[in-house]
Amino acid sequence: MTTSSSNSPTGLEIRLASRPSGLPAPDDFQLVEVPVPDPAPGQVLVRNLYMSLDPSMVLLTAEDPGLPAPRYELGEVLYGDAVGEVVASAAPSLTEGDLVVHRLGWREYALAGAESFRKVDRTAYPNPSLHFGFGLVAYVGLLHVAQLRPGDTVFVSSAAGAIGGLAGQIARLKGAARVIGSAGSAEKVRHLTEKLGFDAAFDYHDGPVLDRLREAAPGGIDVYFDNVGGEQLRAAIEAMNVHGRIAVCGALTRQSTGRPDAGPGDLVTLVGKRLTLRGFTVLDHMDRAAEFGEQFRGWLREGSIVYDETVVDGLREAPRALLDLVRGAYTGKTVVRLGS
């Protein structure tokens, strides 16, 4: 917390300064220093420690995001997942020092009613940022949307990202016969096979994706975890076995270009192969959070799963980091560290 010339405490926040027509630019975001008030009765003041950066945030800057979430409004503070520490409370349910998760990211201090915050166990994970729910997305997408079965061949796009990296590892832990990933560089491809345990991986820049996918999965694929859309979705449909299942999680093709995606292509193939293609949001599966958390903590203790994280320091750097994220600059989960 900084102090202004009037000796009142202040904090930084990021607002949407202008509505982009495509991919946002740094000037579309505004950094503002604001007073930090004391909580009113029923309210809690939280000092944010980490905030999550997610590719879908780029879509929320658009006029019509096409997502089941409110768009970012002009002149308003952006929102997103954050984890922080209660520094002042006027509500009986939370006390100073409690660790909480909430949706009031993109600011150093969050002030809201106590119902906006969920207390979490400070000792559950080695780092507070592990409380972000991206692992749950991978878990429910594979097991409950795509109905992963032991012996399946699984393809994961954007597999070096936060969700994709965990999706591939969870597929392996749950009995997939073969796990294949795509990524955007030779370095990331090596990361998938040498560190995360993928059976095969390819750089989607290295020629037609369908050719690379057929080389990696000559027997076809049964499950596709889609973080990208575009050419990779169309290639996966062509490489799918009969009764294959596709879990559509993200749309990085659109998020990285700001242009609409061409979609899955010729739908006759979907009919002929009797494929299932299902979009999902983790908000529909929060009842699985406790189940996932127990398994995830066990995997971390056993060392059977690798947790990748890229940490960006300071709220000032968050807009740039978000744009770098959708351009594929980072590996694993990307978070902004707001405090020590």
pLDDT in tens, 223-274: 999 999 989 999 999 999 999 999 998 776 555 555 566 667 778 889 999 9
CATH 3.90.180.10 fits 2-131+308-337, yes or no: yes
Check residue 1 and give its pLDDT.
Answer: 61
Check residue 297 and give its pLDDT.
Answer: 94
Check residue 5 and give its pLDDT.
Answer: 44
- For the cut 90, the answer to whether the pLDDT of residue 77 exceeds it is yes
Confidence of residue 309 (pLDDT cuts 50, 70, 90): very high
- For the cut 90, the answer to whether the pLDDT of residue 219 exceeds it is yes
Alpha-carbon gap, residue 303 to 245, rounded angstroms = 29
Check residue 250 and give its pLDDT.
Answer: 79
Taking only the tens place, the pLDDT of each residue in 146-165 is: 999 999 999 999 999 999 99
Contact partners, residue 81, CB within 8 Å, separation at least 6: 51, 52, 54, 101, 102, 103, 105, 132, 133
Average pLDDT of the chain is: 92
Check residue 7 and give its pLDDT.
Answer: 63
Check residue 318 and give its pLDDT.
Answer: 97
**CATH 3.90.180.10 placement within the chain:** 2-131+308-337
Which residues, listed in sequence order, are joined to residue 88 by a DSSP beta bridge? 45
Sheet with 200-203, side-by-side order of all strands: 200-203, 178-183, 153-156, 221-226, 240-248, 276-279
- For the cut 60, the answer to whether the pLDDT of residue 307 exceeds it is yes
**CATH 3.40.50.720 placement within the chain:** 134-283
Give percent of the chain with pLDDT exceeding 70.
94
- For the cut 60, the answer to whether the pLDDT of residue 187 exceeds it is yes
What average pLDDT does the segment 131-144 reach?
Answer: 92
CB 113 within 8 A of CB 44: yes
The CATH-assigned architecture of domain 134-283 is 3-Layer(aba) Sandwich (3.40)
Alpha-carbon gap, residue 18 to 179, rounded angstroms = 42
